[in-house]
Structure 1
Amino acid sequence: MKKILLFIGLLILNSISFSQVRKSGINSLAFLKVGVGAKQIGIGSAATTLRGDPNMMFWNPAGIVLENNKASFTFTYNRWIADIAHIAGGVTYNLGKVGTIGLGIISFGLSNITADRDLLPPDLSYLQIDKQTSSTYSFRDIAVVLSYARKVTDVLSLGVNFKYLHERIDDLSANAFAIDLGANYKITSFWDIGARLSNLGSDIKYYDISSPIPLSFSIGTSFHYTYQGSFTGGLFIDFVQPQDLPQLFFTGIELNAWNMFSLRAGYKFNYSGTKDKGTSWRGPIETTIEGFSAGIGARLELGNYGVSFDYAFTQMKLLDNVHRITVGFNLK
């Protein structure tokens, strides 16, 4: 217990250094804020204490630890706002006492965007920064994640991610590197706590301007209840401190029957309708738009194999609602 308290304490101290910075719009690579996995989104993104799911490499790396499965694979498709394609996949492999390793990738982008290029007169063409002439352009964000987690004790799991981040807009591109740190601790058979520090890394730079990636710190807890062995329920709570927003509070519930069918719901408090402080030339504006979320899940065991399907719905204020689909495959 002392180890996990020390670890969480160190993460809290790290979070204090950036929790005072709450200026919206300072972060680059905003796609890292978009959640991956229909199960995680279905419980309102209160996912810090989940475990055994490859998608946890995109949340808390300590949660990728496999105990009953030898390998696990997941794929998520999300048509994000403005028809942006958000696709993610991950695979984890159980190395026994050595731990669990994982590899994941996220792709986020849009093609064939109409280009509005400001071309200079021929005699000033040497000053032209944008050398492209095509009528359309594309942008693409990519994250490649190498993940490792291990059960330090029967109740404590620690994990780390190493990330390569790439962004390309038209003919320009930039790269960054980051790490995530995470911990999960089982206090009792029905009570878990966890902590994660996400996107601690280098800035991304275009021309002479650098912008930080979206650093955030989260503490989460969850409570689980089993009824007559066939029905289970879970309550999930996360306190999230982003670098560029006030304190956020995520919560969700999950009901499971016969370990086959799941119903989920969640809400992000202090997220929908959050406003910045404005500037000298404009008033406060809303900086977040997500609200209620809900989802369903189904599992099927076929001998040494298992397949899963999860769906999540997210309410988006003023914009089209978002639907996510995740499919998974497990090998025992």
Structure 2
Amino acid sequence: SSCPTRPVASSIPAPLKTLSSSRTFQKNVPQSSPSPPLLPMAASASAAGGQPQKQFLSIIRDFAAEKSHGERTVSGLKRRLDDVVSASDAATAELEAAKRAREAAETELRGSEVQASIADASIQALEATISHLQEEIAKLGSELDALKSTEDIEREEFLRQMLEMNARIRQFQQKASAELAERCSGPPSADGKQGKSAEGQNVSDMNETMDSEGMLTDSADQMNKMNAEVHVLEEEYQKDLLELEKLRHELADVRAKRALMEAVMKETKKLQEIGGCTIHSLRSSRSATYALAAEPTTWRRSRRRRRRQRRWQTNQRSREHAGGRESAGLV
């Protein structure tokens, strides 16, 4: 913008110097009556030196105008530079904010991926436990059905044996009552043979009573054993009922857990969908960040290009001014 200037005194030609010195002398030293021969010489000298002086003054005015224009352009460029610097600062601040947002999005994405992997692992573990519990429930159900069938069979067998025992007891009671009635109602015999036969009958009756008593004791023992077995079966039945209630509670818990896991799986799918959206937004933010990062480089290149153009223009102007001054000096 600034071009080299020559000193004013050196650029003034010699006739103009003498003219100016003569004029200053004439201004400083008053003359009452100039001599007539000097007037035509002064007029010719002023006419001869007036044209270069006008050219020089026009050159000075042009230089002053160019200088003021250059100063204005420099001030405008400074203002533009300040604006560009402020814009670059704002762009760098936005870039830093975008980088921080990208880092936050990446951390959130990593956290969501970790949560999704943990949820997947927990879902798989719960599905395995649910399948294992279902297998155990099916096994216990089959065992319970088998116990119920065996219990029904044993109960029917016990009832049949009890009915047989009751029939045998009734028969024994009827037989014993009939024998007692015969003994009480029979007349006494005086004959010896009849006495012997009566004694033999009594012995046989005693043997039968002893046999019946043995059978009764055996049946009582069998009844006690059957009662004990029935008691044991009832205890086992109660235990099976308790296990059945426990299995029902476990089944209800498993169903509740299954419903909970289905809800967790739905939420996990939603999180995975959200994770895909965050990945898409992260990629878009990365592209925007790269664009913002590329903006300063393009701006610097354009700025360098403009500087080169301005330098070339200023050099051309300075060369033109120097050529004009040289032509004026030659004139």
- TM-score over 0.5 (shorter chain): no
Larger Rg: 2
Q: Which TM-score band (shorter chain)?
A: under 0.3
Q: Looking at secondary structure, tell me which structure has more helix per residue.
A: 2
Higher RCO by CA contacts (8 Å cutoff, separation 6 or greater): 2
Q: Looking at secondary structure, tell me which structure has more strand per residue.
A: 1
Give the TM-score taking structure 1 as reference length.
Answer: 0.16
